[in-house]
Structure 1
Amino acid sequence: MGRLSACTPAPPILALLLALSLAEILGVAAQGSWELLLENAGIASMHTALTHYGNVVLLDRTDIGPSQINLTGGVCRDDPNDLTLKVDCTAHSVVFDPADNSVRTLFIQTDTWCSSGQFMADGTLVQTGGDFDGLSKVRTFSPCSSSGSCDWVESTSETLQDGRWYASNQLLPDGTQIVVGGRGVATYEFIPANGAAKVYLPFLSATNDAQTDNLYPFVHLLPDGNLYIFANRDSIVLNYKSNTVVKTFPTIPGEPRNYPSAGSSVMLPLTASDGYSKVEVLVCGGAQYGCFLNSSTFPTASETCGRIAVTDENPSWDMQTMPSPRAMGDMLLLPTGHVLIINGAENGCQGWNNQKNANLKPVIYSPAAATFATQSATTIARVYHSTAILLPDGRVLVAGSNPHQFYELTGEFPTELRIEAFSPDYLNTANDGVRPMIVDAPGEVGYNQSFTVTIAVTNKPSGEVMLAMLSSPFTTHSFSQGLRLVNVEVGMPTDAGNGEYTIVARSPPSSTLAPPSYYMLFAVNEGISGPAVWMKISY
């Protein structure tokens, strides 16, 4: 949030108060609200991703029998190796438009069950691995407007060097992706490979056990260009260029955190105010050790969050207790810098029918105050194979949930075809007077570049207006792959007349802070966010 011009530092207590919202200072628990967007999307979204056109790709597996929506134009998937339906005329992927809550079917050929993905620098969604005939596949989706006809393309020239089921992807500073791990796979590789061979990572073997609690490892790109990788209960910093572990961390107390134990993780916002020098990772939830092998007992899920300053010389885990136990929760960064923890169950772990007592109440964690605020409950259980993503208007889209091998539309946890949205309290109309609306911003910027943003706001800003760059991740199995928030350097708003104000900002200084891609640019005034505009950062 730092300023371009010099200013007199505020006294420490005043600086703290200025950094906190009124709700944080008073301990007020904002509630948020829910709305049903679509009664039947046709599929249960196991994987969800927001494109820079503002529409949302929903993706399920293929070897599951018929979905609840037909492919159009008489198209069918002819697959003699399909486990259930050799000729399938139903869709297993759709694109959802939040503008009118409509869906358009997409065609996916090979099985994307428990696969991984990430957006490339040009906004193309790359999707890797899966199961059965999809194990080594590389697929791409080049997004278009909702009136377009863009669709999935399965590569005929590139395949994964190792078949990857339950892997994690991360966009790198050079615009390539790293694909880490998978069931029975202790390697990483790159997309596109450009001649680079896969690399063995002993850490993935060391964190493996009878339950394989190191699947879907939490992977975060650090500002120094290295990777923070968390698996099971342990974590390292990896220099992937030299395959060197440059730092190891204490074991997190408590339960296993990765699949099938299903905790979640985010890297907390990176801020210009400290020169992007402090990096903290938050890991929340999980399941009792042994749950996957003894699932019929439905043990109580983890109640703890661990927070660690990765950049400290001698880091240690700061443990906190959540308001309720949670496994299979999704963690998202909100434009305000808070962390939303949503979805999941209070008992059990990942796997078919391995959960009880859906956790219907999201919580919002404030990194500044280190407090949790319980939110309004949904009426829809979102357990195994559920997803959540942030939309440009500030709402959180929630989709999926299917703890069954096939589609089962009745019972305690039916295959969930409904799409809903959670609106954090910053969207309350009572905040409209201070809500900043971006009326002008560049569509593309380079690194370490000065740029100007114009906002419209009813009440004159009383201080800095934060500009937050939020990536668009690939969300699956309780982890948003590639998620990051960068609060860029800003100057004080300048009155431009007619209720508009200009803000001179500076883009991130390097691609290790913000890999080249499309980002949602949010303006946040007095803790209240306005809707985002898309901004591409590139070399």
Structure 2
Amino acid sequence: MRSRRSSILTIATSLVLALGLSFGAISLGTIEGPEEVGQWSAPIDVGVIGIHAALLPNGKVLLLEHIYTPGKGNLAKVFDPVTLQVTDVTLPYQRNVFCGGHVFLPNGKLLISGGEINLNPGGEVGEGTPDSTLFDWTTNTWTETGTMAFARWYPTDIALGDGSQLVFSGRDERGQERIKQVERYNPATGSYTTLPPSADQDTNGLYPRTLLTTDGKVFLAGPDRNSRMFDPSNNTWTALDKMNHGRREAGGVVMLPDLHTVLTAGGSSTNTAEIIDLNDPTPQWQYTGPMAFVRNHGNYTLLADGTVLANGGGTDPLPGPPALEAELYDPSTGTWSTMAAQQVDRQYHSSAVLLPDGRVLTAGDDDGLPGEMTTVEIYSPPYLFQGPRPKIRSVPSSIHYNDGFMVRTRQAAEIQRVALIRPTATTHGFNMDQRYVDLGFSLTNGNLAVDAPSNGNIAPPGYYMLVILNGNGVPSIAKFVHLD
């Protein structure tokens, strides 16, 4: 599927070539190159609907969907975006992790909490399961882990600074009641503990949008308009300002790189966006620049330069007119810029993740059209067309809190930014754990002396992509490091 704008550009380009004119000889104001709007790859069939997508610490992407085989679990694949190789990693035992919550553990394994209890085609949708599952990226294998006290369908998982994980919300095993109780997962024991009643979550619906703050609290922002702050140290909630737009069902929420400003955009058939500064004494939502397109069920991905890519989505009711053109949000200006258009209509049940080389993979969609749902597309942002990339020669495989480490690069004198980016796991338009952490650094003996984060509230323990950027905003290919 191609947008009308893309078709017009193709016709205009053909006319210029037919007339024997060069692009340098005339000015076509509507024609923009990849250095301005980026570039999408052609769709690549990977044999799975990427409803859930997770970037593994080896640079490959785990994709899984709702289809399952009798006697087994969900269809799942691991896709290598460099070699384009696809590996089947279908769950070998009966388990339906579709519509579960997911988060990376400190050892890099992916925890999936809950999902659907039903394993039979034609059964009821939305009945939760208390089961949890781990995916080991080093062996491409699945194992069972602790069982929650409550069944959960559409829960949200979030990593805390101490290395544990919290699970919020979800629907029960009958598909009727939303779970108010919050549970904590202990990776060392593989078990869950239910928090006391003061931690019960009364608002914000299914797949609540949660973000870790630098003081160790959890900020909830959507899908309803209520904002709340949870303090894991005493298991209490504090009500904060309400969003201006109202409920943003299937909207996006992103913690920006300063780690105290939160962006919410789209959802509920709107193109509006809002920000809130959690460092303010009385944080209040205020509108920022609107998007050019309505994005219900869109995806919002932090890029290697700290900007935010919005792609996919469309207008309700589903399937409504799609938003094929991507958009880029610049936190420094509070404005969106329209980017290149993807070919495939990706709305409900789509996903997107940032890759180590700075590109973005988008997958999924569940509109019933054959031949499109099992494809992925890969977007190259404009920063990949701004000249040579810096290159990391070496970096320690492990770095430690409140400690320094060296990054060796021949372009050290050109580097203007060093950052850690947490691998992302996305479903239903929400990336449950993405995080961009700027690092302090200095030029030392022709290399970079870099300061690791001071504690886990700034960057929870686990694997990260380390990236360096030059003065043109061009990122290196990231190197994976383990932070503890």
Quick one: distance in 2 between partners of 1:162 and 1:533? 38
Pairing 1:376-391 to 2, within 5 Å after superposition: 376-391=340-355
- Encode CA deviations 1:443-470: one digit per residue, 9 max, x unaligned: 111101011111233x952xx5211100
Q: Is it true that 1:508 corresponds to 2:453 in the alignment?
A: yes
Quick one: distance in 2 between partners of 1:54 and 1:45? 16
Pairing 1:133-532 to 2, within 5 Å after superposition: 133=118, 135-144=129-138, 149-155=139-145, 158-183=146-171, 184-192=178-186, 196-200=193-197, 204-207=201-204, 214-231=205-222, 232-245=224-237, 247-257=238-248, 261-270=249-258, 279-287=260-268, 301-320=269-288, 321-345=290-314, 347-348=315-316, 354-403=318-367, 408-410=368-370, 416-428=373-385, 430-432=386-388, 435-457=389-411, 461=414, 465-491=416-442, 493-494=443-444, 496=446, 502-526=447-471, 527-532=473-478
Measure how far apart 1:378 and its partner are: 1.0
Name the amino acid aligned to 2:81.
P
Verify the 8 A CA contact 2:424 2:431 in the aligned structure 1. Answer: yes
Relative to the length of structure 2, the TM-score reads: 0.84
Name the amino acid aligned to 1:398.
T
Quick one: distance in 2 between partners of 1:195 and 1:186? 15
Verify the 8 A CA contact 1:36 1:418 in the aligned structure 2. Answer: no
Relative to the length of structure 1, the TM-score reads: 0.76
Quick one: distance in 1 between partners of 2:331 and 2:196? 35
- Encode CA deviations 1:464-494: one digit per residue, 9 max, x unaligned: 5211100012100111011111001111x35
Distance 1:78 1:228, change over 3 A: same
Measure how far apart 1:495 and its partner are: 6.2
Q: Give 2:17's aligned residue.
A: none
Verify the 8 A CA contact 2:103 2:158 in the aligned structure 1. Answer: yes
Verify the 8 A CA contact 2:106 2:463 in the aligned structure 1. Answer: yes
Q: How many residues are treated as equivalent by the alignment?
A: 428
Which runs of no fewer than 5 residues in structure 2 stay unpaired?
Answer: 1-33, 119-127, 172-177
- Out of 129, 143, 155, the position equivalent to 2:114 is 129
Verify the 8 A CA contact 1:58 1:93 in the aligned structure 2. Answer: yes
Measure how far apart 1:53 and its partner are: 1.0
Verify the 8 A CA contact 1:62 1:110 in the aligned structure 2. Answer: no
- Encode CA deviations 1:10-42: one digit per residue, 9 max, x unaligned: xxxxxxxxxxxxxxxxxx99200011362x211
Verify the 8 A CA contact 1:489 1:506 in the aligned structure 2. Answer: yes
**2:300 partner SS:** strand
Name the amino acid aligned to 1:228.
F
Percent sequence identity over matched residues? 30
Quick one: distance in 1 between partners of 2:261 and 2:441? 22
Quick one: distance in 1 between partners of 2:196 and 2:266? 30
- Encode CA deviations 1:231-264: one digit per residue, 9 max, x unaligned: 311111110231212x43221111412xxx2001
Q: Give 1:297's aligned residue.
A: none
Q: Is it true that 1:54 corresponds to 2:37 in the alignment?
A: no
Please list every run of at least 4 consecutive aligned residues from structure 1 whose deviation after the TM superposition is greater than 6 angstroms.
none
- Out of 33, 58, 71, the position equivalent to 1:78 is 71
Q: Give 2:18's aligned residue.
A: none
Quick one: distance in 2 between partners of 1:150 and 1:474? 16
Q: Give 1:95's aligned residue.
A: 78
- Out of 30, 33, 42, the position equivalent to 2:36 is 30
Which runs of no fewer than 5 residues in structure 1 stay unpaired?
Answer: 1-27, 64-75, 80-87, 208-213, 271-277, 288-300, 497-501
**1:528 partner SS:** coil
Quick one: distance in 2 between partners of 1:503 and 1:206? 46
Name the amino acid aligned to 1:503.
L
**2:340 partner SS:** coil
**2:253 partner SS:** strand
Q: Could you tell which deviates more after superposition, 191-200 or 377-386?
A: 191-200
